[in-house]
Amino acid sequence: MIPCANPKAQYLSYKSEIDEAMQNVLQGSAYVLGDQVAMLERNFAQFIGTQHAIGVANGTDAIEIALRSLGIGQGDKVITVAHSAVATVAGIEASGAAPVIVDLEEDFYTLDPQLLENALVDDVKAVIAVHIYGQASAVDQIKSFCKSHNLFFIEDCAQAHGGTFQGQRLGSFGDIGTFSCYPTKNLGAIGDGGLISTNSDELAQKMKMIREYGWVDRVSQIKGRNSRLDELQAAILTVKLKYLDEDNQKRKEIAQIYDQLPTQNIQIPKRRENSTHVFHLYVCRLKNRDELKQYLEKHNIFPGIHYPSPIHLQPAYKDGIEISSNMHVTESICNEIISLPMYPELSHEDAQSVVTTINSFFNTHD
C-alpha cells in the first residue's frame, strides 16, 4: 500500500529525538507558549531569513492574525485564488474581510499577476498569494504590484516551507508569510500548529498580542483571540526543522523519479525559473484523471486530488464570493489534476513502481 502522504513514517524517522523532546516538555513547567515555542520561533525566523517568527495554533489562524495585525477586517477586501485549501478563504473571512478571487497562471497554478489590475476594486487592502504545492508564485511581479498600489502582500506558505525564489526563502518576500504545520505539511506537527514570518518589529509584537487575547502583561490592550501554540508541538517542530532541508531534498529526488513519466500522455509539474520547488505535492495533469486514479487504487497506490473543487464552487461559497476574472484555468484543472504519493520516507523503489504502474495504465488505455 502506497499512501499519498505518511506523517507516521516521519515520526518513526525521528522517533528517539521526538520522544525525548516530548518527555522534556512533559517534565517541564510550561505546556503552552513557553521556552519551546520561543526556541522554535528563533530557529524558524533564522531558517526563513526574517527578523521574526510567531507560533500560532494553525495555518488558518496564521492568515487571520496576519490580516488583523495589518488592520484589515470588516469592510476590507483581499485578493486571492480559489485553487487552494479552503483555509485561505476561511482565514480571510475570519478576519472580517472578504475575498476577491482571481484565476491562475496556466503553467504553475499560482495567482496570475496579470489579473491584479482588474481585481483592484474599492476597499482592496491586500493580496494573498498561495505558493501552491511547494512552488513560488510570481513573487516579484505580485510584490511590485502591491508596492505600487499601496497594498499589503501576504504569502500563504502552508505548502512551501523551505522553498525559494531567487535564492531567498518563501515567506521572506511579503509583509507577512503564513505557514501551517498540519501533520502532512513539509514541516508537520503531530497535531495542529502554525507559524508566521515577518521582518516588522511592530507587526510581530502585534501578532503576538493577538494570538493571546491582545494581552500585554495579562491586560488586553487590543482585541485578540486564543491561538496559542503548545510546547509539545513546538518541541516536535524544532526537531523536524533541523531536517527540513534534507527532507525537502528527498522530496525532490522522488520528483525526479516521477519526472520519467511519459509526457505525451501526462503533464508533469512545470518549474518556475529561479525558484526551488519543495514538492509538498507532485501534481500531474491529464484528461482521464479519474480512470487513472481508479487504476492506481486497484494496484494499491492511493493518489490524492488537490483540489477536486475550487473554493468558489463549493456549497458554502458558491453564492457569496466575489469573482474578479474569468476562472478558466481554476475550473478546468480541478478535473484533470492528480497528486502522486509524496513524502520524504517514500522509497525510490515505491516511487519507481508508481511510474511503472502509470506506464502500464497508458499501455492498456490508449
Ligand X SMILES: *Cc1c(COP(=O)(O)O)cnc(C)c1O
Residues near ligand X (CB under 6 A) are: 58-60, 84-85, 87-88, 130, 156, 158-159, 180, 182, 192, 194
Q: Closer CB to ligand X, residue 94 or residue 292?
A: 94
305: Cα separation from own chain's centroid? 15
Q: Closer CB to ligand X, residue 110 or residue 265?
A: 110
Q: Closer CB to ligand X, residue 69 or residue 88?
A: 88
Cα 183 to Cα 193: distance, rounded to the nearest angstrom:
9
Cα 298 to Cα 312: distance, rounded to the nearest angstrom:
32
Residue nearest to ligand X (CB): 59
Minimum CB–partner distance for residue 77 and ligand X (Å): 19
Minimum CB–partner distance for residue 198 and ligand X (Å): 17
Q: Closer CB to ligand X, residue 192 or residue 212?
A: 192
Count of beta carbons in the 10 Å neighbourhood of residue 70: 22
Minimum CB–partner distance for residue 85 and ligand X (Å): 4
Cβ-based neighbours of 74, under 8 Å, separated by 6 or more: 96, 97
Cα 294 to Cα 292: distance, rounded to the nearest angstrom:
5
Minimum CB–partner distance for residue 81 and ligand X (Å): 9
Q: Closer CB to ligand X, residue 64 or residue 257?
A: 64
**Greatest pairwise CA separation for the chain in angstroms:** 68
Minimum CB–partner distance for residue 217 and ligand X (Å): 29
Cβ-based neighbours of 157, under 8 Å, separated by 6 or more: 131, 163, 170, 171, 177, 178, 179, 197
Q: Closer CB to ligand X, residue 86 or residue 355?
A: 86
Please tell me what DSSP assigns to residue 153: E
* Closest by CA position to 250, among listed 162, 133, 344: 344
Q: How many Å from the N-terminal Cα to the C-terminal Cα in the chain? A: 26
Minimum CB–partner distance for residue 73 and ligand X (Å): 19
